[in-house]
Amino acid sequence: MTIKIEELKNLIKESIPDAEINIQDLAGDNNHYSATIKSKLFKGKSKIEQHKLVYSALKGKMGNELHALSLNTIEN
């Protein structure tokens, strides 16, 4: 089970419309990614809350279709 970069970006954009997203496919297997996401929505939130926002945008795919996503969230 894998997921494409574009699909990932679209999912994140749906929930976090102002997100500036940079995703790298770490292993070239559509399954291990690293993402840097910048958004105003992260303002005033803890890192845990910021990452949870992204996980919820991915609608349960994290840990399932998507094995590994290293996250770096930045307040914009």
Residues 56 and 15: beta-carbon distance below 8 Å: yes
Binding mask 39-58 for another protein (x = CB under 8 A): --------xx--xx--x---
| Binding status of residue 71 toward another protein by CB under 8 A | yes
* Spatial CA neighbour of 36 closest among 51, 56, 57: 51
Token code pair at residue 72 = 């770096």
Tell me the closest approach of the beta carbon of residue 33 to another protein, in angstroms.
Answer: 12
75 DSSP β-pair partners: 39
Q: Under the rule (CB under 8 A), what is the footprint of another protein?
A: 47-48, 51-52, 55, 60, 62-63, 68, 70-72
